[in-house]
Every structure is written in structure tokens, then in C-alpha cells.
Chain A
Amino acid sequence: MITIVDYGMGNLGSILNMFKRIGAGARISANPLDLEGAEKILLPGVGAFDGAMERINSGGFREVLDRKALVERIPVLGICLGMQLLTRSSEEGRIAGLGWISAETRRFPQSSGLKFPHMGWNEVNPSRASPLTAGLASGARFYFVHSFYVRVDHEEDSILQAHYGVTFDAAVEHGNIFGAQFHPEKSHRFGMQLLSNFARL
């Protein structure tokens, strides 16, 4: 059973919908107490970094999330802003991130010609194999919407990369911590493959 954390930001209905379609057990929870019994956690997120961290810190989620992720080491998947929250900090905000992955979230360089946010379907390339990305065909593409990007400190934590002006990490993995910058719940069969893999971990 995957617990999707509802801290007030994110398109939870769509995520739950895709889990239902692929036949994976999932539920949404806005109550930190529910997280105690979680077997796997999905951390969604759409919006601003500081806003999200504030809600997580003050909503009673922080303590139990840290424990589940760092002590009990259950599988955690952060999606879109949720992946950026896994890093130690973001140029978008001033509050520190969860710091579960050794990485930083940076603003895309505003090079001429490119419009921001990075929005639309883009191709990803595997940096290395990972259970999260198993079965993804070459030329797999996902739907992205973001103005900030993640770059991991250690190359081995990167599992998928994409390019938009700069090359950035589209998906990351460090032990039990996973992240996807794109929206798997809005990426057709590619997203279904990824979420199936997460469900089967």
C-alpha cells in the first residue's frame, strides 16, 4: 500500500487514478499519523519550494517523514516539486529542503530563445539502470513542468537525464529514496511503467 502525502499541494487525484488503473494499492493521507504505518510513501508537489517545505515542517509531517525515510528506510518517491524537496536547498526559496539526497535545485539559466517553465513532453536518457526505470523503452518521454532543475552531487545518484538548455537529472535514486522531476501520472504508458515499478519495489 502506497501512501500519497497530502500536505496541501499537488494533483493527488491523478496520481491515485493512475495507481488504480495499474492495479496498485494506494491511498491519500493528510494525517501525519497515517504515515506511521506507511509501507511506501509518495511525495507529490506542484507550486513553490518554500510554501511546500513550510507546510511539511509545520504540518507535523517532518518528523515522521524523516524517520520513515532515513531510519526505517521505506521506499519514497518524490514527484515534480516533490523531487526538488528531496534536495538540500533550492534557488527558488530560502528554507532548507529535506536533504535526503545529496543534490541542489537550481534555476534554469534564462538563455535566449527558450521559454520557461520547461513545459511539455521531453525525452529522457538513462544514466544507469534502476529498478524504478526498468522496462522503459529507449526514446521514453515524459511530461515536464518546472522552472528549476536538480543536479546531484554524485553521478551514481542520477538514473535519468533530460536536456533543456542544460542537462539535468530527470530521475534520481539513492538507496530507498527516489525522485522523478516529470509527472508520471500524466505521461501515459511511460508513467504507468514507472509507477508500476515503484509499486513492485
Chain B
Amino acid sequence: MLRTRIIPALLLRNESLVKTRRFGRFTYVGDPCNTVRIFNELEVDELVFLDITATREGRAPNLALLTDIANECFMPLGYGGGIRRFEDAKAILRLGFEKIILNSYALENPQFIAQLAEHFGSQAVIVSIDVKRTIFGRNKVYTRAGTLNTSRDPIEWAQEAEWLGAGEILLTSMDREGTWEGFDLELVRSVAGSVNIPVIAHGGAGSVADLGRVVKQAFASAVAIGSMVVFQKKGMGVLINFPDPAEIAKAMEPDASA
């Protein structure tokens, strides 16, 4: 049976791991290589690294650091943050990463999605969509680490990305991120229902039950978790961990009433 992927999403800030809340304040979480080692030991399914200041600072990806990270990893790895050039994408994939994650630049230059997909295959291209709800209750796509409102609708952008060749969508709710309050099921359902490619739900997970809910009720194909894997509990200290696989499997079982 194909297991539902539960993917720790780790945020890089310069050469350290951090965790943000609602794309705002950050807490130091630790060393990227050591954290990858721990996740290796815990045998997690897949990992995603997102450099949250790369685009804002106009930086290219730190290949030396990514090489160090890739050398520690014996599971699939994705990287996103400041990828604007074909050469960078190629170098990162050659280092040992399976997936390139595009965000800001994909909106600036959508053809880049097609270029990468054609060359490396769709399965290597994830388009990351950060969404914030306006005061009128409408969902808008933001870029540049959540600082720029593009006024685009997430469903419409996701469909365009799929059409261009994206293999997956990483859908992040900026409002829920770091809050432990649960996923924005409505948002995830609306996007997952409008594309055929897998949607990875991200932002808001607070418990294993939340993981089950977003998969079964909102049709996410996979789930990315941040706070849950780096903090002991909501509001408490940093502790790298991963939910018990048996508990996850149970949460993914079809509901009795369904």
C-alpha cells in the first residue's frame, strides 16, 4: 500500500534552521545536517528544505550547505528558495536532491516551470503556493516569503502551474502556519479538487488527527509539517521529533461513518 507521505518542512535562514509563526518571528531550531541525521535515524519518508530569506536577499542557493545536507540523507529531498536559474536547479538535483521547489520566481516567469519539467521530469518540480486570506475572506497568493500580495487566486495559479508541467503543489496557509490550530481544510479542498497532480498540505498541523483530517476530508495527497516536528508542544521548547508511524497509519484509516 502506498503510504501517505508526511514530510517535515524545515526552514533555512542563512545556515541555521529556524521556525516561523505566520511567516513572522522566528526561533532557532538547530543545525541542518544534524537535524537531517536525526530524521534519518527516525526514518522519515521525505524532507523538504525551504530557504526563507534567499529570494528577499537576492541570494542564489548555498550549494556547499546543500551538499552537506544531501550527504546525510537517505530519503527523498526537496529544496526551495531563491531558485531562478536553470543551472542552479540542475546543480541541486545533481547534488542528490529529488525535487526543486519554485515559489516567487515561478510567478515572475511561469515558463521556468515548463523548462525544468521538460528537462528533469514533472516529478522533480514542485510549485509552492503561499496563501493568505484577505479581510474580505478571499484567498490570495503571496510571494517573497509572504511579503508580496500578487492578487492571484490560488486555484487559478495551481491550475496554470499544473498545465505548465509542475508535478506537485505545496500549498501553505500563511494564516495557519505555526499556530497548531489545524489546516485550512476549505483552502486545501478547493485546490486539491481543481488539479490532478498531488497537493501537499502545509501550515497549521497540531496533531496526528489533523494529518488524517486534511487527507481524508480535504483530499491532500501528502502533508508537510513544521512546528510539530521541531517543538515539543505548542508554545514549548524546541525538540526534533516525528509522530509515531503507527499513530499516523491509524489516523489515515477510512472513517467508520464514511
Interface residues of A (CB under 8 A from B): 11-14, 17-18, 21, 46-48, 115, 117-123, 141, 143, 145, 163-164, 183, 185-189, 191-192
B1-24 residues with Cβ-Cβ distance < 8 A to A are 1-5
Contacts of B221 in A (CB 8 A): 115
29 A-B interface contacts by CB (under 8 A):
A11-B98, A13-B94, A13-B95, A14-B96, A17-B74, A21-B74, A46-B120, A47-B120, A47-B121, A48-B121, A115-B197, A115-B198, A117-B122, A117-B167, A119-B123, A120-B3, A120-B5, A121-B3, A121-B45, A123-B1, A143-B75, A145-B98, A186-B74, A186-B75, A187-B74, A188-B40, A188-B43, A191-B74, A192-B74
CB nearest to A46 among chain B residues:
B121
Contacts of B46 in A (CB 8 A): 143
Contacts of A141 in B (CB 8 A): 3
**Interface size, chain B (Cβ < 8 Å):** 31
* A118 touching B96 in the complex, CB below 8 Å, given contacts A14-B70, A46-B121, A185-B74: no
B21-77 residues with Cβ-Cβ distance < 8 A to A are 40, 43, 45-46, 70-71, 73-76
Contacts of A123 in B (CB 8 A): 1
CB nearest to A118 among chain B residues:
B2
A188 x B2 contact (CB < 8 A): no
CB nearest to B222 among chain A residues:
A120
- Distance between A17 CB and nearest chain B CB, rounded to angstroms: 6
* A164 touching B2 in the complex, CB below 8 Å, given contacts A11-B96, A192-B74: yes
* A122 touching B1 in the complex, CB below 8 Å, given contacts A13-B70, A188-B40: yes
Contacts of A17 in B (CB 8 A): 70-71, 74, 96
CB nearest to A117 among chain B residues:
B123
- Distance between A40 CB and nearest chain B CB, rounded to angstroms: 21
Known: A14-B70, A119-B198. 8 other contacts (CB 8 A): A13-B70, A121-B3, A121-B5, A141-B3, A143-B76, A185-B74, A187-B75, A189-B43
Contacts of A189 in B (CB 8 A): 43
- Distance between A116 CB and nearest chain B CB, rounded to angstroms: 9
How many A-B pairs fall under 8 Å by CB? 75
Picked from B3, B76, B222, the residue with its CB within 8 Å of the CB of A122 is: B3
CB nearest to B42 among chain A residues:
A188
Contacts of A185 in B (CB 8 A): 74
A115 x B196 contact (CB < 8 A): yes
How far is B40's CA from A189's CA once the two chains are assembled, in angstroms? 10
Contacts of B124 in A (CB 8 A): 46
- Distance between B101 CB and nearest chain A CB, rounded to angstroms: 15
Picked from B1, B74, B167, the residue with its CB within 8 Å of the CB of A18 is: B74
B75 x A188 contact (CB < 8 A): yes
Contacts of B145 in A (CB 8 A): none
How far is B76's CA from A145's CA once the two chains are assembled, in angstroms? 10
A145 x B1 contact (CB < 8 A): no
B43, B76, B120: which has the most chain A beta carbons within 10 Å?
B76
Q: Is B208 an interface residue (CB 8 A)?
A: no
- Distance between A149 CB and nearest chain B CB, rounded to angstroms: 14
